[in-house]
């Protein structure tokens, strides 16, 4: 690939090739998208992030229970909407960069650092890396919540939603948000918002994941609400209520006559 710059900069060698293919009528390959509802809210002591768990490839559900809340740092997590490959790889990349940075500095990662790394990367690719993220965490300056758009712009907000179910979730936030929410109120509001996306948007579904980050630590509630549970579970063995079944024959064995109970040592199960 002659002409590509050695360090940084843009390399557009393959764009001409893609244009040539499109002119010939070759279809651009499709990709797994996460039609999604993701949301985040800042409460008194931290951040609550929420996401649904449906991953779609066109009109098919590809993964019924995928994880959309990605680890970035021990105190920073990121929800991702858009192309699944893009969100996973971009968050993984930034998580690795931040870990190396922590070794170099010896200090806790800051949420703005993650935000700056993400937006720089996404802007460089001019929106072709289709990752719409809700980034939240707590560092020494307090709780932070950012949205990062595929073209590289960011917003700093007390509550935000992204994905195809974002309007549905935002309706719940706009009617329920107030200053200084408690942890329980914030969890309930985020769960309601994600549930609103799941119930009203076809691209979102299955279950609700929550992630609560405070300065004391992270609580990752995978499948906090299991909305696609089976309505009927068969019992094994079948339990019949007494009197519901006619008794045909009754025979009682008194086994005390043939069995002797002897006290002894419990069996060693360790081996």
Partner 1 sequence: MQPRPQSHSAALGPGCTGPSLANPTPLAFDHQRQVAQAPSCGAEAFAVDPAALANGQPRKHTTYPYVTGTSVLGITYKDGVLLASDTLGAYGSTKRYKSFDRLRKVNESCIVGAGGELSDFQYIMRLLEELSDDDFCMDDGHTLKPAEVHSYLCRVLYNRRNKMDPLWNSLVVGGFHAGKPFLGTVGMQGTNYTDAHVATGFGNHLARPLMREHHRPDMSEEEATALLHQCLKVCYYRDKNSINKFTIAKVSAEGVTISEPFALETEWRYKLFENPAANAAGAW
Interface residues with partner 1 (CB under 8 A)? 42, 111-112, 115-116, 141-142, 144, 146, 154-158, 167-168, 170-172, 174-175, 177-180, 192, 196, 199-200
- The smaller minimum CB distance to partner 1, of residues 47 and 84, is found at 47
Strand order across the beta sheet in which 217-225 lies: 159-162, 38-42, 46-51, 208-214, 217-225
Nearest to 51 by CA among 206, 176, 172: 206
Phi and psi at residue 269, to the nearest 5°: -95, -5
The secondary structure of residue 8, as a DSSP letter, is S
- The smaller minimum CB distance to partner 1, of residues 89 and 116, is found at 116
Smallest separation (angstroms) from partner 1 to the CB of 180: 8
The secondary structure of residue 215, as a DSSP letter, is T
Could you count the other beta carbons within 10 Å of the beta carbon of residue 262? 5
Continuous segment of H or E residues that includes residue 173: helix 166-176
Smallest separation (angstroms) from partner 1 to the CB of 265: 60
Smallest separation (angstroms) from partner 1 to the CB of 159: 8
Smallest separation (angstroms) from partner 1 to the CB of 44: 11
Is 198:51 a contact under the CB 8 Å cutoff? no
Q: Which residues of 229-257 are buried (b: 16+ CB within 10 A; e: fewer)?
A: eeeeeeeeeeeeeeeeeeeeeeeeeeeee
Is 34 designated active site?
Answer: no
- The smaller minimum CB distance to partner 1, of residues 51 and 115, is found at 115
Q: CB-based contacts of 104: which residues, under 8 Å, 6+ apart?
A: none
Smallest separation (angstroms) from partner 1 to the CB of 200: 5
Q: Which of 32, 34, 36, 83 is catalytic?
A: 36
Output the six-digit token pair for 8.
């940084």
- The smaller minimum CB distance to partner 1, of residues 47 and 66, is found at 47
- The smaller minimum CB distance to partner 1, of residues 175 and 260, is found at 175
What are the residue numbers of the active site?
Answer: 36
């Amino acid at each position: 690939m002659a002409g590509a710059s050695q360090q940084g900069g843009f390399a557009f060698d393959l764009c001409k090739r893609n244009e040539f293919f499109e002119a010939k009528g070759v279809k651009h390959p499709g990709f797994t998208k996460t039609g999604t509802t993701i949301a985040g809210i800042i409460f008194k002591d931290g951040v609550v992030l929420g996401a649904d768990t449906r991953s779609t490839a066109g009109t098919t559900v590809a993964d019924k229970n995928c994880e959309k809340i990605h680890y970035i740092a021990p105190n920073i997590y990121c929800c991702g909407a858009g192309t699944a490959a893009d969100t996973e790889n971009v968050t993984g990349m930034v998580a690795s960069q931040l870990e190396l940075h922590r070794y170099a500095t010896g200090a806790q990662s800051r949420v703005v650092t993650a935000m700056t790394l993400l937006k720089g990367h996404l802007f460089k690719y001019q929106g072709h890396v289709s990752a719409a993220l809700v980034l939240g965490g707590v560092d020494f300056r307090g709780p932070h919540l950012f949205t990062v758009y595929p073209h590289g712009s960011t917003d700093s907000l007390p509550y935000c939603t992204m994905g195809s179910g974002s309007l549905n979730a935002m309706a719940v936030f706009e009617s329920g948000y107030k200053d200084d929410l408690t942890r329980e109120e914030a969890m309930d509001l985020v769960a309601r918002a994600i549930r609103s996306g799941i119930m009203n948007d076809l691209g979102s579904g299955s279950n609700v994941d929550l992630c609560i980050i405070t300065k004391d630590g992270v609580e990752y509630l995978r499948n906090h609400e299991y909305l696609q549970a089976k309505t009927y579970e068969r019992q094994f063995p079948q339990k019949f209520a007494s009197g519901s079944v006619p008794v045909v024959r009754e025979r009682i064995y008194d086994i005390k006559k043939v069995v002797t109970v002897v006290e002894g040592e419990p069996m060693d199960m360790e081996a």
